[in-house]
């Protein structure tokens, strides 16, 4: 059976539409390369500190970025070392002297864990304290950290713009 001229033309038309579309992979590879470089550059710059929903941190204009350290969190209710409760604030304020023994024991345990992990260098601790915490409590926490052989004590704050930024001085 012979096809009509119209059926033959329709068959050719349908064959033309079935051709595969060429996919240009060069553009996709360029986009993925840029994305990989962006992620590599920006991923090593950040250290996340624990959630601070329970405390309101003071502000500072410091430009230093935090390092991986042991974190002592001083909230309005209790003192935590790397998220584990150690001592209540009321008990800490009631202790005579500058050494908080439960905190010192917890910091010593963290120190031993870091030494076993091969990170026995200059030990560092970051104190995150609510801005309403009395200074005498922070002084006791800092003194206990130095007695537990932590040579570098840092206070975590929220970064704010320096005073007068963008303003002309008179």
Angle at 113 between CA 110 and CA 114, to 5 degrees: 90
pTM of the model: 0.55
Q: Whole-angstrom Cα distance, residue 146 to residue 127?
A: 12
The topology (CATH level 3) of 59-159 is Nucleotidyltransferase; domain 5 (3.30.420)
* H helix intervals, the chain: 5-17, 25-43, 89-94, 101-116, 135-147
Q: In what order do the strands lie in the sheet with 78-81?
A: 84-88, 78-81, 70-74, 124-129, 152-155
**What's the pLDDT tens digit per position in 63-96?**
666 566 788 888 888 888 888 889 988 888 888 8
Phi, psi of 109 (to 5 degrees): -65, -40
Using alpha carbons, select from 108, 113, 142 the residue that is nearest to residue 126: 142
pLDDT of residue 168: 45
48 has pLDDT over 80: no
């Amino acid at each position: 059976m012979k096809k009509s001229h119209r059926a033959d033309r329709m068959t050719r038309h349908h064959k033309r539409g079935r051709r595969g579309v060429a996919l240009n992979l060069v553009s996709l590879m360029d986009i993925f390369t840029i994305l990989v470089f962006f992620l590599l550059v920006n991923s090593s710059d950040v250290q996340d500190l624990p959630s601070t929903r329970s405390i309101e941190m003071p502000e500072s204009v410091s430009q230093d970025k935090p390092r991986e350290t042991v974190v002592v969190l001083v909230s309005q209710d209790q003192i935590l070392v790397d998220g584990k409760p150690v001592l209540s604030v009321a008990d800490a304020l009631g202790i005579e002297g500058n050494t908080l023994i439960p905190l010192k024991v917890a910091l010593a345990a963290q120190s031993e864990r870091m030494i076993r992990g091969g990170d026995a260098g200059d030990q560092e601790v970051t104190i995150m304290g609510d801005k309403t915490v009395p200074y005498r409590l922070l002084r006791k926490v800092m003194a206990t950290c130095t007695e537990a052989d932590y040579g570098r004590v840092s206070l975590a704050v929220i970064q704010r713009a320096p005073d007068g930024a963008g303003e002309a001085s008179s």
